[in-house]
Amino acid sequence: MDKKYRIAIIEDEPFLATMYVTKFELEGFEVLRASDGTEGLELIKNNRPDLILLDIVMPKMDGFEVLTLLKKDAETAKIPVILLTNLGQRTDIEKGMALGAADYIIKANYTPAQVVAKAKEHLK
């Protein structure tokens, strides 16, 4: 990567969050981290990441609500958001994409390296 991209990872499960943060940092990304939707929104508004990895099931505010608010705000609407979740039902996937997600990744189906590769695709 020529440019050092800044990404935000919004994930409430500490082990998974640390795993993704570590993998992205090793790949040369600057990583911001939040553990719930409310904290994530504030982090995004204050730091303007190039890409957001967003869990859906979280305390305080779920990922669908965060995504909706991001896409309604002109300052954050164009930031690509990848939903990174264990929710694999077709209705959840359709809802996420309809709300404006750039991609939908089911955690169990992707290694951290594959998640990084997907993120890089959306930053091209």
pLDDT tens, 22-81? 999 999 999 999 999 999 999 999 999 999 999 999 989 999 999 999 999 999 999 999
Q: Does residue 72 belong to any structural domain of this protein?
A: yes
Q: Is the pLDDT of residue 1 over 80?
A: no
Structural domain range at position 58:
6-122
CATH code for position 76 = 3.40.50.2300
- 16-44: burial string, b at 16+ Cβ within 10 Å, e else: bbeebbebbeebebebbbbbbbbbbbebb
Q: Does residue 1 belong to any structural domain of this protein?
A: no
Distance CA 124, CA 122 (A): 6
Q: Does residue 82 belong to any structural domain of this protein?
A: yes
CA 47, chain centre distance (Å): 14
Domains: count for the chain? 1
Q: Does residue 96 belong to any structural domain of this protein?
A: yes
Which tens digits make up the pLDDT trace of 70-120? 999 999 999 999 999 998 899 999 999 999 999 999 999 999 999 999 999
Q: Is the pLDDT of residue 21 over 60?
A: yes
Distance CA 29, CA 18 (A): 14
